[in-house]
Amino acid sequence: MSAPADPGPVILLSAGCLFHLPLKRIAQIGRDAGFAGMELIMNSPRLTPEAGLERISEVLPVRSLHAPFRDWAAWGGHLASWKATTALANALPHADHITMHPPGSRLANMIQNRWFEKACDLPLLLDAKGRIRFSLENMPWPEGSPFSRDPLEKLLEQCRDKNVGLTFDVCHMGVSGRNVLDSIAKVPLEMLYNVHFSDARGYTEHLAPGKGCLPLAEFLRHLGGRGYSRYVTLELEPAAFPDDIDGTIAQLDRLRRDMEGWLTTDTERS
């Protein structure tokens, strides 16, 4: 008997694409556009296990959460904000992943977040249930980096040290002046938990595919050819969409179909 077919990557809609709308409306739009789930942006301390998010997850499953990336004081600090995100993920039935921005490298951030440098097992530190995976996201790096080491290599080492995976943000890599195809080829498949997918041009990020200059079709074909089967999250700016809901759903449906096609092209040829 042959082994079951690999289910392939799971395409999510980032709630940040339409953050100006209520979460329930975002979930309805994502469902109607055919997405498999949502990545929830933790943008308010009011997002707690008691906030009724299970009902939103019934409309479109919240499969991934994005930990806060600003205003950490509202949660009581950076560590507290990550623990709050983990508590919510633990409570949501479909959630199994959390993306986190590494704490900043400025001296004030380093002093405040000494706990991060000392941590060797973030899932244990954050009280995660066994199904929850964590990943650190690559942020934009200066083109003329003063470091002798490749920043991606340094980040991957940090992921290994903290017992987490990587969220590969394509547009962040693009605005850093890196070749996104060469960069993704350096990431071990077992460490890649999530991909934030959008286009970029110059220093402008989170554009719709085709509005920038990144080789996004080739990027997804590469992932599909390697057998990647975790999350690919569409993460665009709200200005990328028309003002009307029907037009937004139609555009999202079209983008999702394009992404699915690019991901499966190489797999079907092999």
Instruction: Specify the pTM.
Output: 0.92
**Whole-number Å distance between alpha carbons of 148 and 33:** 45
Phi, psi of 82 (to 5 degrees): -70, -35
Give the pLDDT score at 111.
57
CATH number, domain 10-269, options 3.20.20.150, 1.10.3720.10, 3.40.640.10, 3.30.830.10: 3.20.20.150
Instruction: Please state the rounded mean pLDDT for residues 1-7.
Output: 45
pLDDT tens digits for range 50-103? 888 999 999 999 999 999 988 888 999 889 999 999 999 999 999 999 999 988
Pairing of strands 204-207, 199-201: antiparallel
Question: What is the pLDDT, as a whole number, of residue 2?
Answer: 37
Average pLDDT over residues 220-227: 96
Whether residue 266 has pLDDT greater than 60: no
Helix (H, G, I), strand (E, B) or coil at 167: strand
For residue 202, give every residue at least 6 positions away whose Cβ sits within 8 Å of its Cβ, in sequence order, or none: 175
pLDDT tens column, 25-59: 999 999 999 999 999 999 999 999 988 899 999 99
**Separation CA 267–CA 270 (nearest Å):** 5
Q: Which of 69, 68, 15, 18 is nearest to 46 (CA)?
A: 68
**CA-CA distance, 197 to 168, in Å (whole number)?**
9
Work out the angle at residue 162's Cα, subtended by the Cα atoms of residues 232 and 97, and round it to the nearest 5 degrees: 30
Q: How far is CA 70 from CA 74, 96, 156, in A?
A: 9, 23, 23
